[in-house]
Amino acid sequence: MTPVEALERVVHCLDRGFENGFKTKAFVRALDVIRSLPPEEVEERSANGTLKELDGIGDATVRLVKETFAGEHAYIDKIEAETQISMTDGGAAYMAAIRGDCHLHSNWSDGGATITAMATTARALGHEYIVLTDHSPRLTIAHGLDRKRLVDQREEIARLNEEMAPFRILSGMECDILEDGSIDMDNEMLDQLDVVVASLHSKLRMEKAKMTERMVLAAANPHVDILGHCTGRLIGKRPESTFDADIVFMACKQFGTAVEINCRPERLDPPRELLGLAISYGCYFSIDSDAHATGQLEWQPRGCDRAAERGVPMDKVINSWPMEQLLAWTKDKTLAA
């Protein structure tokens, strides 16, 4: 392992552990510094104790680099152990069946890692494919992709797919559901995407009847495959949106739109009761990490635990299907619905 690889692994683990405070920022900064230096200089500075003179390098990095050159890994082992993701036996059965991840972000929008890093990590986790779902243009705060950038991104994906075959990066987008229930991307472009996640990111406090109508319109849109984090809650920070869940899940069932089981620890959306309701309507589900960093790709066990706890039928989990089946379904959801 090189010092850069060791630092990358530490950042991965901290992201996995959802440690997004000072410690992670310090390691990300240190990684930038170490990456920018010639490897010989890193080795020399580590040996003569001058690494810490560099801006952005703290004691922890000095120790990590020193250990790496000595072929030791006590520090990494500690961080690995502290950030392990636990899983129930029931969840493990779902995790074993899962072949991919249908909702994740790269640094093309508000993610922290390159498409290559996300894909390489997902492949190492045993996935057969990922769906890259960077944000749509309306979400300017997240550097959402307009049509032009989405076209550019699809070219990059095609290039990477040649390198990484048989692993596949599917092209997708997390589109905003606008106030009137329409989707923030033109139909011609949506037609070309493999998988479309539609989510609410604004006007989450809309009045119940209007919100229900807005969500039903999104679920009924033939381009929409997955309804992302449906209640919009952020645990401890933001309440669930108010909508008639019976009508929304009935629409998801009717139009064959999958309900996402979002695995982010601050979301875990839908909450248990609503998940039970969606199961009772016979909806499809997609257990997605919504990762914004490589470490967060390891979050699916949370959703798998939830799926096991509530008894989501395995054959309804769209990302447990072979990729060809998934793609045939997203092309024509009426067939399977």
Point out which residues bind Zn ion (CB under 5 A): 174, 199, 290
User: 23: helix, coil or strand?
Assistant: helix
- Beta-carbon contacts of 119 under 8 Å, excluding residues fewer than 6 positions away, are 130, 160, 164, 167, 169
Of 19 and 290, nearer to Zn ion (C-beta) is 290
- Least distance to Zn ion, CB of residue 286, Å: 12
**Could you give the CA distance from residue 100 to residue 98 in angstroms, rounded to a whole number?**
6
- Least distance to Zn ion, CB of residue 85, Å: 19
- Least distance to Zn ion, CB of residue 301, Å: 18
Of 174 and 184, nearer to Zn ion (C-beta) is 174
Tokens of 17: 């552990």
Beta bridge partners of 269: 262
Of 15 and 174, nearer to Zn ion (C-beta) is 174
**Could you give the CA distance from residue 139 to residue 77 in angstroms, rounded to a whole number?**
38
b/e sequence 70-95, b meaning 16+ C-beta within 10 Å? eeebebbeebbeebebebeeebeebb
- Least distance to Zn ion, CB of residue 290, Å: 4
Of 68 and 241, nearer to Zn ion (C-beta) is 241
Contact 216, 245 (CB under 8 A): no
Of 199 and 296, nearer to Zn ion (C-beta) is 199
- Least distance to Zn ion, CB of residue 156, Å: 19
